[in-house]
Amino acid sequence: MLRLFALTLGLVLTAAAAFAQTGKVTVVTSFSKDVTDPLKKAFEKAVPGATLEVQNRNTNAGVKFLEETKANNQVDLFWASAPDAFEVLKGKKLLSPYKPKAAGIAEKVGSYPVNDKDGFYSGFAASGYGIMWNERYVKANKLPTPKEWQDLAAAPYFDHVSISAPSRSGTTHLTIETILQGEGWDKGWRTIKEISGNLRQVTDRSFGVPEAVNSGQVGYGIVIDFFAFSSQGAGFPVKFVYPSVTTLVPANVGIVANAPNKAGAEAFIEFLLSPAGQEALLEPTIRRLPVRPETYAKAPADYPNPFKDKNLQGLLTFNAVLSESRSAAVDTLYDQLITFQLEPLKAATKVLHELDAALAKKDNAQARALAKEARDLIAAMPITAAQAASPEIRAAFSGGKEKSARQAELEQQWAAFAKEKYAAAKAKADEALKLAR
Amino acid sequence: MALAGTRSGGQAVLALTIALFLGVFLVVPVATVVYVAFTEKGGGGLTLVNFLDFARTDLFVRSFWNSVYVSAMTVVWASALALPLAYLTTRFEFRGAMLVQTLGFLPLVMPPFVGAVAMQLLFGRNGSVNLLLDEWFDFKIGFMEGLNGVIFLQAIHYFPFILVNLSAALRNIDRSMEEAAQNLGSHGLRLFRRIALPLALPGFIAGASLVFVKVFDDVATPLLLNVKEMLAPQAYLRITSIGIDDPMGYVISVVLIGVAVATMWASAQVLKGKDYATTQRGGGGLARRKLKPRESALAYAVVILILALVLAPHVGLLLLSFATVWSFSPLPDGYTLAHYARVLGDSSVYIKNTLLYSSLAAGIDVVIGGAIAYLVLRTKLPGRQWLDWAASTALAVPGIVLGIGYLRAFYGVKMPDGTPLAALWIVIVLAIAIRRLPYALRAAYAALQQISVSLEEAAENLGATKARTVRRIVIPLMTGGLLAGFVTSFATAAVELSAVLILVQSNSDAPLAYGLYVLMQTPAGRGAGAALGVIAVVIVAICMGLAQLAADRSQRARGLDI
Amino acid sequence: MSKPARAVGIEIAGVNLSYGSTHVLKNVELSVRPGEFFAFLGPSGCGKTTLLRLIAGFAQAQTGQVLLDGQDVAPLPPWKRDVGMVFQSYALWPHMTVAKNVAFGLEERRLPRTEIDRRVAEALDLVGLSDYAGRRPAQLSGGQQQRVAVARTIAIEPKVLLLDEPLSNLDAKMRVSVRRELRALQQRLGLTTIFVTHDQEEANTICDRIAVMDAGTIRQVGTPMELYENPANLFVASFLGSANILGDGDGISVPAGKRLVFRPQHATLSSVDGVPLRGPVTHREFLGATVRYGVRVGGSEILIETPFQSGAELRTVGDMVGVALPPERMLYLPA
């Protein structure tokens, strides 16, 4: 008993001593050691007297931790690549605004603004989404090499693709939202469902996708680029391609409200945006895209450059307000229509692939008409774009008074909708297949 | 009458202390998190509407039945694996018996993440076995597909529980039960089936119900296999969603707790009046006979096959820790020691923390579990059953709920200098201890049931107080069971991750599981994560072996045999 | 239950049995006649239960033979010996009803269902428990459990019945009635039966012959009366009934290597004159029908029991008395 007390006392005193020193900067981050170790070293070299204390947590645990400890906050910075997490923290008033002094940082990278418009968090890097595949798997199964997103919807890719759920991966969510903004609500969802019909699995964490591709459990993965490159760097037999229209997603850092060492936190952000910090991003273990355009002069020749490469420029201006307004709805729609209805969706898609093959051999107008009907059934959505952004739907997720239904009720409605539609689509496709043969 | 007063007074104080402990470190933190299930989002007072929604949502109902199916089938398959081994080691002079019992424990010690990765590499759709099967015979077996994959992994993981349980139950059978059957003409397998198994059944059910609940509440394994349509993963996914404050995650947590309590209650009902272990006298177990050479060969073959299966994850883990690249091939491309070199530096801090936390947690568990078992079985205090049930619900509470609850309950409590209480590593120990308490409790309960009350009454008759009787008679006789509880708590505490992830606030406080988690976030870290996992398994195995040796020696010194 | 076609005899010849370095049975020779109610009698640890288990097949001897109806049973495992054993703890299976317990042996013999049911009913009827067929052992009293155990064994119509201290868990009153029932049952069935006990009264009252055992050896075999009247050695003499033992120097001359043994009720108190055995009265106990005196003779204390006559004068402690003993009641046994 006495020993425990002494131990406790000792711990407390050490903590107090550390407190007194102004150099400790505490950061909660979801970045891996591959990223944090080199940046920590570089930061501590650039700012003598400062030490970076890294608390590694997955994004959700990090957000929850900040929420629960806000009464006596000990954390200076939140540092992650999940834009939705920053929005949540901002909404719960857990961030302090800060305008970085660094000059020479771009306003926009790809389609996205680099910084939060209200100044609560700053972007320091970007990454691109693309397609990664396992060479051995592809060779063994005699599969094709993809180039564009739409390729993944083709028949040979059936049951070989993996993606992480947008509800679980903020960056994947942005990719989906970009498709919706680019192609429009209905066409966008049609594309998404066509690709999703070929999925083998929907993972619940971002890293699950590259991990599955690395082991060869799955052939193709829709991943963020640095996962693919670090896998290659680790020796895995994988390849990566940026489609010609790709999504660039940002990585951010923000100062936590009531930070114990605000000065230190600001110093860290300035470091990240400084030429030295931005150059550090080019290291093979980190491999992020700097937001300081001049940094690319120091990069190797084939390094992707969002300020020069056509396919990284972004075809549209991303509407962050729209994205935010329907964020919960889009996540839930994906889950209820695809993630948890994957088997029925795949069943219908499979028959459609077989049907296409049969029609290629011998055309049949009636069968083709039925195929189109089946596809339309799959592409049908339970709510329109306007409804998705409406106050009623939003209130269902936030608990506001205007809600039309509870979240659980909406989910059940949408799930039932999808189940019915996919079953009907499969029935039509089966019928068409009989005709075509 | 004064004597009677102080006796029950002491017991009441003990009961209240334990109730306080459970209240502060389990009930209150969980309640602060889970009460959301009873309120409507954005709405006012208490309501059960969320539970209605639960029942009306196809996804949840489907997940519920999936969980029931997986849990039940896990018990079936784990028993199928355990039964031959239990039969061989209790019925015959089998030289490998000791080895079987020790190795049989290892599957419990499976570090998070890496274990499932290793199993995918061995048994997955494109794992070693299936690649070879496809090459030679042109077909694949879906070991790891969907619900069957979960059942496969869980059966292997929890098989030690059933084995230990079944063996103990068989060993407790009065020898004369068997002899009477032999005398009347029965022998061999027929006797085993008609007499030994039915008599062992109650003891078996006690262990099986624990496995059922544990599998029902397991979050990690289904998620790692990408199976989301089970109840516990659904709870986790909803609680950890960012930006949507969904009460359904907590509703499901309440359902999980409810199912756990219901299962424990149901098994207690089934066992009532059928607890044959305590109504028998001598024990003595079944008579053992020697194996004939051909039988011996068959026995060893069966044992080796089963052990190979249940130790496959560790084999995979070992391969992974030495592998350069292992992708879509039966075996790694090449081997290296680089991963071990990488982790050996960092790991001493992790190892120290793991040993400290796990032994403290297991110690707490054994003391509290033993105390609760004593109160329930030996006293007549009203409401003592609630202590048992409250402690058992710790099984059902998802680690993340407990972690958040601890932050919520204790972060506001400050130490003199302003450091929050929840920042101290002792809180991590308590979270681990609470989550493992049910194992130690069940083991202590089973051990105490075997001891006849008359042994204690004799001591009291000779002048020993209740406290002294417990110290000098009860505890030495319970040592076997308490040790089993300690070992199980320790082994599973060493690989605890979900609560740790929320509560750890600095690397210097981190245990092995955390270090492993950090490593497994990158492609290059997989080998190092596996190396750390192997280190964790080795350390835990050594500690378990030492603990067993120490207990054996002390028992022998006292002339008791476990 | 029909009488067996022919009752069966048991021969035990030259049996030696050791557990490790403990020599438990030493050169045991015994024969049990067909239809006999035979007892193994002795203090605890004498080897009687081991001998019984040897016959049942639960123990193996290093040397010697056990013959059942002339056949050597050594190569037969317990389940093939067809000897019915009633265990001291009864060993009723708690997960089966009384009827299922009794039916067990018949089911193992693969008899047709109707036959099994018939014999179960008969066995239960014989022990008077027909109404309890559906109960579980836990619901029965000790005496009832014992009867179920007996019914279970006789249902299979064994060649031989082995009873391992069947009465030791019953209260005194039950013991008397149950042992009479066992005897009656055995007579009715004509089964060769071996009864293991440490209680000489039990052995005396119901058995045809008794083997008295001590430390692994058989000290004497005979009918109860033979053993009582003509014990072959001091052990048997003092085990069955009380015995006074005097050696040389206790007041009378006893041949070297022998002791004088006589029963308390065969001696009478007389006046001291001319009587070699004499001494002071040490204590007196009134037992209703008899009065028991303790008298110190030489270095030993002996007991004398005389019938109590109402109104007769009793000796007091300290009185010097003489002990009269008819010569035909004097037994000289090896020391």
Q: Are B336 and B324 in contact (CB under 8 A)?
A: yes
Tell me if B75 is assigned to some domain.
yes
Query: DSSP labels for A340-395?
Result: GGHHHHHHHHHHHHHHHHHHHHS--HHHHHHHHHHHHHHH--SS-HHHHTSHHHHH
Q: Are B120 and A217 in contact (CB under 8 A)?
A: yes
CA distance B373 to B371: 5
Q: Are B518 and B528 in contact (CB under 8 A)?
A: no
Contact: A72, B57; criterion CB under 8 Å: no
Minimal Cβ distance to B327: which of A69, A134, A397:
A134
Angle at C42 between CA C38 and CA C43, to 5 degrees: 155
Contact: B184, C79; criterion CB under 8 Å: yes
Residue A200: helix, strand or coil by DSSP? strand
Residues A139 and A96 in one domain: no
Q: Are B560 and B475 in contact (CB under 8 A)?
A: no
Contact: A230, B523; criterion CB under 8 Å: yes
CB pairs under 8 A between B and C: 72
Angle at C232 between CA C226 and CA C234, to 5 degrees: 115
Tell me if B508 is assigned to some domain.
no
- Please report the pLDDT score of residue A253 as a whole number: 95
Residue A247 exposure: Cα atoms within 13 Å on the Cβ side:
23
Tell me if A142 is assigned to some domain.
yes
Minimal Cβ distance to B183: which of C78, C94, C109:
C78
Residues A296 and A423 in one domain: no
Contact: B325, A134; criterion CB under 8 Å: no
Which site among B176, B184, B187 would you substitute to test the C interface, given the most C Cβ atoms closer than 10 Å to its Cβ?
Answer: B184
The CATH number for B153's domain is 1.10.3720.10
Tell me if A4 is assigned to some domain.
no
Please check whether residue B193 touches C, CB under 8 A.
no
- Please report the pLDDT score of residue C165 as a whole number: 92
Residues A122 and A143 in one domain: no
Picking from B176, B264, B208, the residue whose alpha carbon sits closest to that of residue B80 is: B208
Q: Are C9 and C32 in contact (CB under 8 A)?
A: yes
Residues A326 and A361 in one domain: yes
Tell me if B426 is assigned to some domain.
no
Do C and A make contact via 3 or more CB pairs under 8 A? The reply is no
Tell me if B53 is assigned to some domain.
yes
Q: Are B198 and B169 in contact (CB under 8 A)?
A: no
Q: Could you report how far apart the first and last alpha carbons of chain A are, in Å?
A: 82
CA distance B182 to chain C (A): 5
Tell me if A21 is assigned to some domain.
yes
Residues A289 and A209 in one domain: no
Residues A233 and A355 in one domain: yes
C-alpha dist (Å) from residue C6 to B211, B221, C56, C69, C115: 57, 69, 20, 10, 22
Minimal Cβ distance to B523: which of A11, A167, A231:
A231
Q: Subunits with at least 3 CB pairs below 8 A relative to chain C? A: B
Query: Parallel, antiparallel, or unpaired: how do β-strands A238-241 and B289-290 relate?
Result: unpaired
Q: Could you list the residue range(s) of the whole structural domain that residue A79 is in?
A: 17-127+250-312
Token look-up 């013991």 returns C175
Model ipTM value: 0.86
Token look-up 């000059």 returns A103
Q: Return the HEC string of chain C.
A: CCCCCCCCCEEEEEEEEEECCEEEEEEEEEEECCCCEEEEECCCCCCHHHHHHHHHCCCCCCEEEEEECCEECCCCCHHHCCEEEECCCCCCCCCCCHHHHHHHHHHHCCCCHHHHHHHHHHHHHHCCCHHHCCCCHHHCCHHHHHHHHHHHHHHCCCCEEEEECCCCCCCHHHHHHHHHHHHHHHHHHCCEEEEEECCHHHHHHHCCEEEEEECCEEEEEECHHHHHHCCCCHHHHHHCCCCEEECCCCCCCCCCCEEEEECHHHCEEECCCCCCCEEEEEEEEECCCEEEEEEEECCEEEEEEEECCCCCCCCCCCCEEEEECCHHHCEEEEC
Tell me if B414 is assigned to some domain.
no
Q: Which residues of B touch A61 (CB under 8 A)?
A: 240, 400, 403, 501-502
**What type of residue is A275?**
P
Residue A131: helix, strand or coil by DSSP? strand
CA distance B191 to chain C (A): 10
Question: In which residue ranges of chain C is CATH 2.40.50.140 found?
Answer: 252-334
What is the greatest pairwise CA distance in chain A?
A: 87
Specify the CATH number of the domain C252-334. 2.40.50.140
In this prediction the pTM is 0.83
Contact: A34, B522; criterion CB under 8 Å: yes
Q: Are C231 and C261 in contact (CB under 8 A)?
A: yes
- The one-digit pLDDT tens for each residue of chain C (335 residues) are 555 557 899 999 999 999 888 999 999 999 999 999 999 999 999 999 999 999 999 888 999 999 999 999 988 888 888 899 999 888 888 888 999 999 998 998 889 999 999 999 999 999 999 999 999 988 999 889 999 999 999 999 898 999 999 998 888 888 888 899 999 999 998 999 999 999 988 999 999 999 999 999 999 999 999 999 899 999 999 888 888 988 887 777 888 888 889 999 998 888 888 788 888 999 999 988 999 999 998 888 899 999 998 888 888 899 899 888 888 888 889 87
Number of Cβ within 10 Å of residue B107's Cβ equals 27
Number of Cβ within 10 Å of residue C335's Cβ equals 12
The CATH number for A45's domain is 3.40.190.10
Domain boundary among A292, A312, A332: A312
How buried is residue B246: exposed, middle or buried, by Cβ count under 10 Å (0-12/13-18/19+)? buried
Tokens describing residue A62: 């990090």
CA distance A409 to chain B (A): 7
C38-71 pLDDT per residue, tens: 999 999 999 999 999 999 998 889 999 999 999 9
Minimal Cβ distance to B187: which of C77, C94, C95:
C77
Q: Are B112 and B516 in contact (CB under 8 A)?
A: yes
CA distance B463 to chain A (A): 31
Residues A205 and A327 in one domain: yes
Strand partners, C246: C260
Q: Are A288 and A105 in contact (CB under 8 A)?
A: no
Number of Cβ within 10 Å of residue B324's Cβ equals 14
Cα-flanking dihedrals φ and ψ of residue A134, to 5°?
A: -95, 115
Tokens describing residue B9: 């007074």
Q: Are B89 and B103 in contact (CB under 8 A)?
A: no
Q: Which residues of B touch A235 (CB under 8 A)?
A: 324-325, 333
Q: Which residues of C touch B279 (CB under 8 A)?
A: 94, 138
- Please report the pLDDT score of residue A21 as a whole number: 35
Picking from A130, A51, C214, A212, the residue whose alpha carbon sits closest to that of residue B226 is: A212
Which site among B327, B339, B350, B430 would you substitute to test the A interface, given the most A Cβ atoms closer than 10 Å to its Cβ?
Answer: B327
B-chain residue closest to A216, CA distance: B328
Picking from B140, B455, B129, the residue whose alpha carbon sits closest to that of residue B281 is: B455
Minimal Cβ distance to C91: which of B177, B273, B276:
B177
Contact: A204, B125; criterion CB under 8 Å: no
Tokens describing residue C323: 């002990």
Residues A100 and A168 in one domain: no
Q: Could you list the residue range(s) of the whole structural domain that residue B330 is in?
A: 48-336
Which site among C81, C83, C85 would you substitute to test the B interface, given the most B Cβ atoms closer than 10 Å to its Cβ?
Answer: C85
Strand partners, C258: C334
Tell me if B274 is assigned to some domain.
yes
Residues A284 and A353 in one domain: no
Residues A94 and A26 in one domain: yes
| DSSP at B27 | I
Residue B559: helix, strand or coil by DSSP? coil
Q: Are B472 and B463 in contact (CB under 8 A)?
A: no
- Please report the pLDDT score of residue A370 as a whole number: 92
Picking from A411, A383, A36, the residue whose alpha carbon sits closest to that of residue B522 is: A36
Number of Cβ within 10 Å of residue A75's Cβ equals 26
Tell me if B251 is assigned to some domain.
yes
Query: Parallel, antiparallel, or unpaired: how do β-strands A77-80 and A24-29 relate?
Result: parallel
CA distance B154 to B216: 10
C10-237 folds as Rossmann fold (3.40.50)
Contact: B525, A34; criterion CB under 8 Å: yes
Residues A338 and A373 in one domain: yes
CA distance C196 to chain B (A): 16
Picking from C253, C256, C248, C272, the residue whose alpha carbon sits closest to that of residue C320 is: C272
CA distance B369 to chain C (A): 30
Q: Are C195 and C167 in contact (CB under 8 A)?
A: no
Contact: B180, C78; criterion CB under 8 Å: no
Number of Cβ within 10 Å of residue A72's Cβ equals 17
How buried is residue B377: exposed, middle or buried, by Cβ count under 10 Å (0-12/13-18/19+)? middle
Residue B507: helix, strand or coil by DSSP? helix
- Please report the pLDDT score of residue B205 as a whole number: 85
Angle at A48 between CA A43 and CA A53, to 5 degrees: 50
CA distance B385 to B377: 9
Q: Name the domain count of chain A.
A: 2
Residues 6+ apart with CB under 8 A from C195: C37, C38, C39, C40, C163, C166, C182, C202, C203, C206, C207
Residues of chain A below pLDDT 70:
1-22, 314-315
Q: Helices A59-68 and A83-91 sit at what angle, rounded to 10 degrees? A: 10
CA distance B534 to B531: 5
- Please report the pLDDT score of residue B370 as a whole number: 92
CA distance A422 to B417: 61
Tokens describing residue A251: 């990585």
Residues A301 and A208 in one domain: no
Query: DSSP labels for B249-280?
Result: HHHHHHHHHHHHHHHHHHHHHHHTT--HHHH-
CA distance A349 to B547: 57
Question: In which residue ranges of chain C is CATH 3.40.50.300 found?
Answer: 10-237
Strand partners, C84: C161
Q: Name the domain count of chain B.
A: 1
CA distance B389 to B56: 29
Contact: B274, C93; criterion CB under 8 Å: no
- The one-digit pLDDT tens for each residue of chain B (562 residues) are 444 445 567 788 889 999 999 999 999 999 988 888 888 877 667 888 889 999 999 999 999 999 999 999 999 999 999 988 888 888 788 777 777 777 777 888 888 778 888 888 999 999 999 999 999 998 898 888 899 999 999 999 888 888 887 887 887 788 888 899 999 999 888 998 999 888 888 778 878 988 999 899 888 889 888 899 999 999 989 888 876 677 888 999 999 999 988 998 888 888 776 655 444 445 566 677 787 888 888 888 888 888 888 889 999 999 999 999 999 999 999 999 999 998 888 788 888 999 999 999 999 999 999 999 999 988 888 888 888 888 988 888 888 889 888 888 887 777 777 667 767 788 899 999 999 998 888 888 878 877 777 788 888 777 777 788 888 888 888 887 788 788 888 888 888 888 888 888 777 888 988 888 888 888 888 899 999 999 988 988 888 788 777 777 766 666 554 3
